[in-house]
Structure 1
Amino acid sequence: MDLQPRNFIARRLPDLGIALKSIAGFWALYLGLITLRAVVLDFPDFWAMLARRGSVVLVGTFLTFLVYLALRPLASASLAKKATVASILCLPASTCFAAFNYYIFYIFAPLDAAKMDESMKDMTPFQMALQSIVEGALSWYFIFAAWAALYVAMSVAKQLRAADRRTAVFAREAQEAQLRALRYQINPHFLFNTLNSLSSLILSQRIDVAERMIMNLSHFFRTTLSADPTADIALEEEIKLQRLYLDIEQIRFPERLRVEIDVPEHLASARVPVLILQPIVENAIKYGVARSRGAVTVRISAYEEAGRLHLKVKDNGEVPPPQDCEDCGTGVGLKNVCERLIARYGVQAGCFHGPDPEGGFTVHVILPVIRHG
């Protein structure tokens, strides 16, 4: 039943907790120090003076809270403006406090300890009051200003922490959105080519091969489209996905496509971004296998070196001249891979590609070795 009022207060006074804790701590420290001084110096009328000090502290607490309320409308203002307004607000607060302090000790049933103040014995009551209040206001001004500085610093620090948390959330959401966008840039030509191959298989009455291709295609898309694009998977699972894709392509290119997988057992559990190899393997088929006249081997290998996982996808197909293949190594697929690696690992990852000295084309991906989920 009381949730709505609490939520209202939280919205209007979001740093109320900071204010109350700092005010209570500030004045409790003051009361403790002046009480300790009275004990050490053996002031007379200890208990009566303690009661009056307590009432003075309560008034000081109330005045400080009023300063806090006056500062609240400036929650989003600059630090300089907050400091300026706080310094101005502390002046009437310290004056009111000095006036009450004078009243409680010198006007309201003065105690013997107060009567012993020899510096005021030759002054009129008005002069005594004016001097005490002015001097007290100047002294207490710095006390209130010290609290105001503490509160403003704590409030700004809280705002900065909240801004850092929001920035971190926005950055994480932006990164996840980027990863999803990059992940879903699957080349539609793969689906079109596969459907064309299926049509040819059906027309040639190769129903068993067409059925196998449909099952592989269904399994591939069900697995890839259901995967979280921001998640990591074991390297062995990534290889299985690529093997499934290559099985589909081997039906399209039964005489031209050969596949080799070389992944050491100790790297099978290494974590990699899901489908990070898909655009690379697809490029190898598109530019290495589809455009070659003879058999082409697509080789996927992995090894660990200096705490980094190295993944290579190499094909020994014919590399067309640059004028015939402007995007063989710089198209959407490889750009996709490089951007995903940068978004996920930053400078800890790398992506290199180009014609292989032994023939064909090689893409070399480097990322940190991570073995936990």
Structure 2
Amino acid sequence: MNWQQLVENRHKFFWVLQVAGWLGYALLNYIGSKVFEMRDIYIFVIILNAYAGCLMTIPLRYLYRRIWNAKPVVLLGVVFSASYVVGTLWSVVQKFNLWEIYRHGYRPTEWFYYFQQGLDSVYIVLCWSGLYFGVKYYQLLQSEKQKALKANTMAHEAQLKMLRYQLNPHFLFNTLNAISTLILVEENKNANQMVSRLSDFLRYTLNTDPIKKVPLEQEIHALMLYLEIEKVRFEDRLSVDVDISAQANRALVPSLILQPLIENSIKYAIASLETGGQIQISAQVFANELLLEVSDNGPGTDIISGELAKLSGVGLANTKDRLKTLYDNNYSFVLADNEPQGLKINIRVPYERAKKHD
């Protein structure tokens, strides 16, 4: 059990502090006895006093828990009253131990003397009470902080899932339309291939958590499944060139981060060219950053300050929102004109290497 877990476990944390605190009190008194050159038998008295203080302050814990939500005036009144009573009784026990064990043979004739000079004990119990409330408030603050972090994390996860799953119906709609068209023109072989590829691709999307990151090599494999579906539609009109370095292959990336970019290129570039077009996918690692690039040789579009002048669809917007959610401001998503024509999308994210599996 680490420190954070110990703090969160209120019951165990109380007993650890209770025992450690009174051991510390006994140690300080022992050092004081050495300074004043008291006899060794006084050590036993110190231990008894600390043990008595430990036992007598335990009921205060349960009393304070019962009045925790009381008004401040009531709370302060109970704390001071309880501390005074417990401190005075503890003082009586300490003097009894001192006179019966260390100064055996001397006993005051009046019980009044047992209650004299008990303010030091009351102050110590008050300090104990203050520490109890301080620790209690600290634990509550930590608990609220954990709840806030958990709520924030859940909100981010929900947002990521919404952004990821928003893409799938759009892609599925286009693919099913294409399959329907192939069936109508009686191209059953191509339709069967598309259904098979679609099944493999959807299995990948369902088995991949949109919150977790996957190796780029795995992402490219899924992307090839998607492109094989599109190649059935476009045949020779769609050409794909992939250039991924060995180091970049092992990089972790958000699942299906490239698919909407490729879909965007196919929709606005390849589909608009009668002779078809080419899509280039490249990835490399430079200065501990992963650089991803998707480009096409389509007609291009108007770009202002690295963004489309007119943004349509959800693909690019969702991709940027996912990167923002996952990496905060430690990423870049830039659109630029490709040479000699077309659109180029550059993504930069921190390089995280995937762990090797045995």
TM class, shorter-length: 0.7 to 0.9
1:222 to 192, 196, 203: 203
- C-alpha separation in 2, matches of 1:304 and 1:159: 44
1:283 matched to 2:283? The reply is no
Going from structure 1 to structure 2, the CA distance change for 1:321 and 1:235 (only over 3 Å counts) comes to closer
One-letter amino acid of the structure 2 residue matched with residue 315 of structure 1: D
- C-alpha separation in 2, matches of 1:77 and 1:17: 25
Match of 1:23 in 2: 18
- C-alpha separation in 2, matches of 1:173 and 1:206: 46
- Structure 1, unaligned stretches of length 5 or more? 1-13, 116-123
1:239 matched to 2:192? The reply is no
CA apart distance, 1:242:
1.7
Contact 1:22 1:151 in 2 (8 A): no
Give the 5 Å matches for 1:1-80. Answer: 15-35=10-30, 37-38=32-33, 41=36, 43=38, 47=41, 56-74=49-67
CA apart distance, 1:277:
0.5
- C-alpha separation in 2, matches of 1:328 and 1:300: 24
2:287 to 291, 306, 323: 306
Contact 1:209 1:251 in 2 (8 A): yes
1:96 to 89, 101, 104: 89
SS in 1 for 2:117: helix
1:204 to 160, 185, 188: 185
Going from structure 1 to structure 2, the CA distance change for 1:84 and 1:289 (only over 3 Å counts) comes to farther
Match of 2:320 in 1: 338
Match of 1:368 in 2: 350
SS in 2 for 1:258: strand
Cα deviation digits, residues 238-258 of structure 1 (max 9, x gap): 122222212221222235322
Match of 1:4 in 2: none
SS in 2 for 1:348: coil
SS in 1 for 2:256: coil
Cα deviation digits, residues 334-357 of structure 1 (max 9, x gap): 121112222222222221224446
Q: Which moved more, 1:240-249 or 1:196-205?
A: 196-205
Contact 2:302 2:309 in 1 (8 A): no
- C-alpha separation in 2, matches of 1:234 and 1:114: 81
- C-alpha separation in 2, matches of 1:337 and 1:77: 51
Alignment: residue pair count: 343
Match of 1:146 in 2: 127
Cα deviation digits, residues 97-148 of structure 1 (max 9, x gap): 234445665699x845667xxxxxxxx948x63xx63532x22222112222
Contact 2:99 2:105 in 1 (8 A): no
- C-alpha separation in 2, matches of 1:154 and 1:64: 15
Going from structure 1 to structure 2, the CA distance change for 1:235 and 1:39 (only over 3 Å counts) comes to closer
Contact 1:105 1:114 in 2 (8 A): no
- C-alpha separation in 2, matches of 1:352 and 1:74: 59
One-letter amino acid of the structure 2 residue matched with residue 157 of structure 1: Y
Match of 1:9 in 2: none
SS in 2 for 1:186: helix
CA apart distance, 1:33:
4.3
One-letter amino acid of the structure 1 residue matched with residue 353 of structure 2: R
Cα deviation digits, residues 315-340 of structure 1 (max 9, x gap): 12123579xxx886464111211122
Q: What TM-score comes out, normalization by structure 1 length? A: 0.77
Cα deviation digits, residues 232-287 of structure 1 (max 9, x gap): 22212212222221222122223532222121233222221111101111111111
Going from structure 1 to structure 2, the CA distance change for 1:271 and 1:77 (only over 3 Å counts) comes to farther
Q: Which has the larger radius of gyration?
A: 1
One-letter amino acid of the structure 2 residue matched with residue 203 of structure 1: L
Going from structure 1 to structure 2, the CA distance change for 1:227 and 1:61 (only over 3 Å counts) comes to closer
Going from structure 1 to structure 2, the CA distance change for 1:140 and 1:242 (only over 3 Å counts) comes to same
Going from structure 1 to structure 2, the CA distance change for 1:192 and 1:182 (only over 3 Å counts) comes to closer
- Percent of aligned pairs sharing the same letter: 30
- C-alpha separation in 2, matches of 1:189 and 1:27: 67
Match of 2:241 in 1: 260
Match of 1:6 in 2: none
One-letter amino acid of the structure 2 residue matched with residue 266 of structure 1: Q
Q: What TM-score comes out, normalization by structure 2 length? A: 0.80
